[in-house]
Every structure is written in C-alpha cells, then in structure tokens.
Amino acid sequence: MSRPAEEFISRRMASHRPAPLRKYGPWLRGPNIISFAGGLPDPEFFDHRGLREAYDHVLDTDPGRALQYANGEGEPDLREQAARMLTEEGYATEPADLMITTGSQQGISLIGTVLIDPGDVILVESPTYMSAVRAFGLSGATMISVETDLDGIVPDDLQAKINQYQPKLVYLIPTFQNPTGITIPAERRDAIAEVISRNDILLVEDDPYSELRFFGESLPPLASDPRLEGRAILLSTLSKVLAPGVRIGWLRAPAALKPLFVSAKQAADMHTSAIDQMAAAYYADQYMHDQHRLDPVRAAYRERCECMGSWIDKLFPEGTRRTYPDGGMFIWVGLPDGYDTDQLLGPAIESGVTFLPGSSFYADNPVRSNFRLSFCTHGTEKIEEGVKRLAAAIESL
C-alpha cells in the first residue's frame, strides 16, 4: 500500500485543467463580492411558481411514471415540445430526431464519447467555450483554433485548418457566443456551411443563448442549412431560458448516430430525471408558446449589457476593445497589449469583483490581455459598482 493515490489517475484526467476560479473559492462566496464570472441567469427571473405548478401537476397526475426509471432517449412529451420549439426557430425537427440530455453540457460530453478517438482533431473558435474544451479534452481530442474575427470563424482559415489537420468535426456557438457575445451573420453562416459540406466533416452547433436576443432579427440555426443535412448535431438547453438547476437540454443528431448517443447516455446516467423532464414538458406546453414570455428578461439583459458597456468605455484604459452583443450574457474585453488578465484576477478579487481571464477560453495560443464579463446576473447599480472596482484593479497593476 505504498503507491500514492495520484498514481492511479488516468492520463486524460491528469492533463485536465481545473476551473480557473477554483483556487479562489473561499474568497468568492463573500457577500460583498460582485461576480461577473459565471454565466448565471438572474434568479429574479426564475419562474418558481410556474415550476411548482409543473412539479405538482406531474406528481398529482402520474407519480408512478415521474418517479420510475425511464428510457434513455427521453420523455416523448418533452421531445415533442423541443421539436416544436426547434421547428419554430426554423429547423424542421421531429421528436424522433431528439435525445434529452442532462443539460447541454452532457451533450458535449457524449459527443466526445460517441465520436472522438484519442488524437482526433476538433476545430473550435478562438476563443471558445471553456467547458467544451475541458469536456472534449477528456475524450482525448486535440483541439485546434480557427482564426476568428468579429463575425465568427473565418471560412478561408476553416478550409486551411481542414486541409492541415483533417478534423472530424467543427464545434461552433454561432449565436451570442460564449465567451465573446459575437453572432455569426447570415452571409458568413452561408460560407461556413459551404466549407463544412464541401469537406464532408461534422458540425456541432451549441445554441444555449439564441432566445436571449435583445437587438436585431433572429437567425435559424446554422445546422438547419440543407447542405448540412445528416452532418450536423445541434445542442439546446432550457438552462438560460428557464433555469439551469433543472438540468434539461436536448441533442439533435442524424438518424444514423442517434441510437449510439442514447446508448452512451444510458451508460453515463441511464436517463435524465423523469420528474424533471415531465415537469419541463408541462411547463413548455403551458407557458413557452408565448413568444413574449422572455421579453422582461431580454429587456433587463439589454439594459445591463448597455450599462456595463458604457462604464467599460468610460473607465477602462485607452486602447481597450470590447464586443457589442445583440443578445446572450457576455461582453468580451481586450485590454491593451501587455496586460495579463490572469494577473488581474487577484487584485480584482481583493477589490470585490470577479471575472474570467481570457486564457481559460482558448484551445491553444491564449491571448492573455482578454477577459470575459457576464452582464446577466446583477442589476445596473451593481454593474456600475463592479466595473468601477475592476477599473481600479486594472489601474493598480
């Protein structure tokens, strides 16, 4: 019994990066900290009464089913609601196309299980969603960044990276991207779909934020482009439009792949909680037909985004750049060259504010002067105070 426990850890886990704020854990729970770090929806908008009604309904009408083991594919009622919502967004979908997941994060993880062999290449945006990098990393994927500008990935570089690396798939968040807030416009989507279909690779589209649009016209999912038929996997979630604690998402996969996703899911967690699925289906049917349901959330996020942006513009050093999102939850800030936002985190926490340093969001070649601010969690007073604290921390460097 002399081997230390660490020696038993798998190679893939040993190369796993811990979440960037973990080492600051004890300091982050203080009542005076203003957090711009997590993409946490404002709990003020959680419809706990509607959800209580939904859970009561399910337990009153069908407790045997709600509390029993269920099938891995997901509750038919919920898949029907999800198919309706995707179809309304412009992506004609049948319940049979869908598998319910425990949040879209599980969908990402299962893509790693079903599609990725160690060493397979996944192309990603630069920067991209941190927890996708971490989940794909656990499947042994090599992630390569595609050049990304203010309209998303650059099609010519996508083609160049496909030629160079022969990737299996490209993972994109085309609408209100995490972490940048950028949306790929229609013309760029068209060019990207052309490159993907011409080269016969898979698209994984992760779409948690598109319902949170506060400027401009909605765009259908990139995955709905007819050229990508049979080559696209779409992930959606109720986390940002209902509540993340409910842990309900769905994955739309080509018919040839879906049974494998169901099988991998059953191996991971048997099925997503039946009672949560049934309550979500009831809630979606009762309340989510109303296109204006999210208007108060959209209005609040728009006000918060504009408030945060204007204080950044007033107080951050000359030469600072930032994004101007039309929706979602995040502003991406670029301090002038020479700043290292990993170094900024300690002084910021001491000043009572947190954010996520840019380095966490790159699959390769991190740009350290960038960072992500989430504008969704707090009202404008706290946003103003938090940006002031952050500006003071930047000045102290």
Ligand X SMILES: Cc1ncc(COP(=O)(O)O)c(C=O)c1O
Nearer to ligand X, 316 or 330 (CB): 330
- Does position 204 interact with ligand X (CB under 6 A)? The reply is no
- Does position 249 interact with ligand X (CB under 6 A)? The reply is yes
Cross-strand pairs, 321: 334
Binding residues for ligand X, rule CB under 6 A, total 13
Contacting residue, 35, 104, 180, 359, with ligand X by CB under 6 A:
104
In the complex, the smallest distance separating the C-beta of residue 81 from ligand X, rounded to whole angstroms, is 16
The region of 57-65, 90-98, 236-244, 338-346 touching ligand X under the rule CB under 6 A is 236-244
In the complex, the smallest distance separating the C-beta of residue 106 from ligand X, rounded to whole angstroms, is 7
Contacting residue, 21, 33, 39, 180, with ligand X by CB under 6 A:
39
Nearer to ligand X, 145 or 351 (CB): 145
The region of 99-107, 135-143, 282-290, 307-315 touching ligand X under the rule CB under 6 A is 99-107
Q: By CB under 6 A, what part of segment 310-349 binds ligand X?
A: none
In the complex, the smallest distance separating the C-beta of residue 350 from ligand X, rounded to whole angstroms, is 27
- Does position 129 interact with ligand X (CB under 6 A)? The reply is yes
Contacting residue, 100, 173, 307, 356, with ligand X by CB under 6 A:
173
Contacting residue, 35, 81, 105, 351, with ligand X by CB under 6 A:
105
The region of 11-19, 101-109, 161-169, 348-356 touching ligand X under the rule CB under 6 A is 101-109
